[in-house]
Chains A and B, each alone.
Chain A
Amino acid sequence: MKTKGLLAVTGMAAVAGFAATGAQAEDLTLCWAAWDPANALVELSKDFEAQSGHTMHFEFVPWPNFADRMLNELNSGGQLCDLMIGDSQWIGGSAENGHYIKLNDFFDANGIKMDDFIDATVTGYSEWPKNTPNYWALPAFGDVVGWTYRKDWFERPELMEEFKGKYGYDLAAPKTFAELKDIAEFFQNRDIDGKTVYGASIYTERGSEGITMGAMDVLYSFGFKYENPDKPYDMEGFVNSPGAVAGLEYYKALYDCCVPPGSSNGYMSEGIDAFKSGQVAMQMNFAFTWPGFESDANVGGGKTGYFANPAGPDGEQFAQLGGQGISVVSYSTKQDAALEYIKWFAQPDVQAKWWQMGGFSCLKAVTLAPDFPASQPYAQTFLDSMAIVKDFWAEPSYATLLQDTQKRFHDYVVAGQGTAQEALDGLVQDWTETFEDDGKL
């Protein structure tokens, strides 16, 4: 108790000191996932350290454990992280349980306007409740599920000819999911340069959120909806609509026909591996992986093409949102310094540099600049994808909702138990139960 009190006192003193002089040097810890963008952020933050005199520390956790570890940290009221770049779906829980501090006043005071950021990212990363001007984070890293393909294989004359003969249209980046499956089947078990290759790498991971992100990415375009637009939490006939069932069946068919052997538990890093090692013709993955392919010895140098999520049977086209906002943890004793970091990070020139280094900036000034689409081979695909995003529940009970989805989808798609209809009917049941427990139904 005594030490805790003392800590609080010194913490207050530090804050007070900072407010007075603005020059109190702090040790700030930023928590995020361990991935390429995080390394880029370390580099970027060196400018902040030089300007502010604060020292930045980083705690990066690999994706499969990221949510587990960080939510555990927040739920135990830990003071490890001053700044948290938390996943988009955490926002509801973090706002309602007081893990993050509300940023509205800070934004107003410092002239940071949410209108300057891509609308979908503001809704996705910052707002709770959704579509209300209550901000808990600054959009930090825009991300969305899209696809990469082996342009060099797609452009081989003999393959193009064979494909056209077989399917009656040109071999190119698919525009519909039906085409995507044709192409995947076409490449499955094909011998290319003496190596057996496979159709597509898709998300199948069970433990965290993999298969949900992958299957939802497909289901949206097939007509899946989380709830009745007119009646919140009314899910019957929306979650398990005929379209949604067809979508889930499609995902299973794709899994059964066209993935490399042993792809029963793969997420982002497995996708990267499969694509880089030349195992697959197409790969579903978040946009953050794209800069890595451009500089890769095997698939870089123009061998990789990009396309946004193709359209479903009725022409609807959506993509699963990824990405994160940056928030200040309410348990931190160095909130002022942490806010200072956000203020620095929001500046247009910092955001421009962020994009250059492989960070997907959400600032319109960056993404809407005339030279943006040409700045990287994947830039246009990123913009196209960001325009069609949808996200999973961001409710405080998101983890429960997610785990139920993981189980239902994995049981059906990978383990082959039951039917798609049963899986989605079961999901409606699970989710209803959770919302009832929460008193929302």
Chain B
Amino acid sequence: MSHTPIERVAASTPPAIASRVRGLSDRTLAWIFVAPTIFLLLAVNIFPLVWTIRLSLTNYRANRAGAELEWVGLRNYTRILTDPDIWQTMQATAHFLIWTILLQVLIGFTLAWLINRKFRGNDLWTTIIVLPMMLSPAVVGNFWTFLYQPQIGLFNYAVSFVTGIDPSSFSMIGSVELAPWAIVIVDTWMWTPFVMLICLAGLRSIPDYIYEAAAIDRASPWRQFWTITLPMVLPFLMLAVLFRGIENFKMFDLVVQLTGGGPGSTTELTSINLKREAFEKWRTGYASAYAIILFVTVFGLASIYVKALNKVKER
């Protein structure tokens, strides 16, 4: 059994040739190649993570560099977990997550299914649909506030054009009822293409002969869809959901530009709430504990989900 790379290479090459492998050994080369990446990730990801854990046990405030550091144990954690405001924030995040994912999966899958009809020019139109997701969410989100203006905005005007409602009678980002939907709409507009592309990859991975066989068995298109298309695309769809889930749990730029968390705290997603604690109130220790809680949540949910995903894949 050869464990080291050099042994493996040596084993796979005749002895005479192996002796001619000069220069750096593979083992050295492997380390040289991997080390900078690992080092960078340690420095910018792991070290800060450890530091965050440490800070989360203190009352440190980054705007009072000179103040004395006090160890407060788990107080920050209990304070966060018993704070009703944080739960309100979590609810807002859940609303945002559930609806964006639902809408994006529905629309994205439908679009992919339509594009897979292979009509002429489909790749150009696909690209146009993809455009929003390539753009800067902050810049685009900022501009959407303009589109949402009650009197002058294109969105309100379009709604009024279709429904006949007075465009100044409602404010998408100003009203408590509509604001959660305002952010869902823009996120769906931006990220549906992502789900669409992944579904498209899934659809294209289904070999034609399966459908051909089904057609010979006289399976109706409806039945083909439920027994072939959907099950085969499902792992892809679940993957898309995972990615969108993680991304939207972290959501900051788009929503902060759109509503800034308002009105009141209606759309104050966890990241926005965390930003206020950390960089506006400067409660660094408290915010660090908050960050750790969020991290554990994402990690926990994601790993449970990945397990489910693997089960689906195995089937």
**A contact set with B: CB distance below 8 Å:** 68, 71-72, 75, 77, 93, 96-98, 196, 206-207, 260-265, 396, 399-400, 403, 407, 410-412, 414-417, 437
A-B residue pairs in contact (CB < 8 Å), sample of 29 = A68-B280, A71-B63, A75-B62, A96-B64, A207-B260, A261-B169, A262-B150, A263-B174, A264-B173, A264-B263, A265-B173, A265-B174, A265-B259, A265-B262, A396-B64, A399-B281, A400-B282, A407-B265, A410-B264, A411-B265, A414-B176, A415-B176, A415-B264, A415-B265, A416-B264, A417-B176, A417-B264, A437-B59, A437-B283
Contact B63 A206 (CB under 8 A): no
- Which of chain A's residues has its CB closest to B176's CB? A415
A260 to chain B, nearest CB (A): 8
**Which residues of B have CB within 8 Å of A98?**
66
In the complex, B58 has a CB within 8 A of chain A? no
Contact A265 B59 (CB under 8 A): no
Report how many residues on chain B are interfacial, defined by Cβ distance under 8 Å.
31
Contact A206 B260 (CB under 8 A): yes
Contact B150 A261 (CB under 8 A): yes
Contact B63 A75 (CB under 8 A): yes
Q: A77-B65, A265-B174, A407-B85 are in contact. List 17 more A-B contacts (CB 8 A).
A: A97-B66, A196-B168, A207-B262, A261-B151, A261-B168, A261-B174, A262-B174, A264-B171, A264-B263, A265-B173, A265-B260, A400-B281, A407-B265, A412-B264, A414-B263, A414-B264, A415-B264
| Cα–Cα distance between A71 and B63 once the two chains are bound (Å) | 8
Contact B149 A262 (CB under 8 A): yes
A210 to chain B, nearest CB (A): 10
| Cα–Cα distance between A68 and B276 once the two chains are bound (Å) | 10
- What 0/1 readout, one digit per residue, does chain B (257-272) give for beta carbons within 8 Å of chain A? 0011111111000000
**B contact set with A: CB distance below 8 Å:** 59, 62-66, 85, 149-151, 168-169, 171, 173-176, 259-266, 276, 279-283
A221 to chain B, nearest CB (A): 25
Instruction: List the 10 closest A-B pairs by CB distance, nearest first.
Output: A415-B264, A264-B174, A262-B150, A411-B264, A206-B262, A400-B281, A262-B171, A207-B260, A261-B150, A414-B263
Beyond A399-B281, A403-B281, whether A265 also contacts B66 by CB under 8 A is: no
- Which of chain B's residues has its CB closest to A97's CB? B64
| Cα–Cα distance between A69 and B175 once the two chains are bound (Å) | 28
**Which residues of A have CB within 8 Å of B175?**
264
A154 to chain B, nearest CB (A): 24
| Cα–Cα distance between A411 and B89 once the two chains are bound (Å) | 13
Beyond A68-B279, A403-B276, whether A206 also contacts B174 by CB under 8 A is: no
Contact A72 B279 (CB under 8 A): yes
| Cα–Cα distance between A341 and B281 once the two chains are bound (Å) | 32
**Which residues of B have CB within 8 Å of A196?**
168
A274 to chain B, nearest CB (A): 11
**Which residues of A have CB within 8 Å of B279?**
68, 72
Selected contact of B261 from candidates A96, A206, A261, CB within 8 Å: A206
- Which of chain B's residues has its CB closest to A262's CB? B150
Contact B66 A415 (CB under 8 A): no
**Which residues of A have CB within 8 Å of B280?**
68, 399, 403
| Cα–Cα distance between A328 and B59 once the two chains are bound (Å) | 30
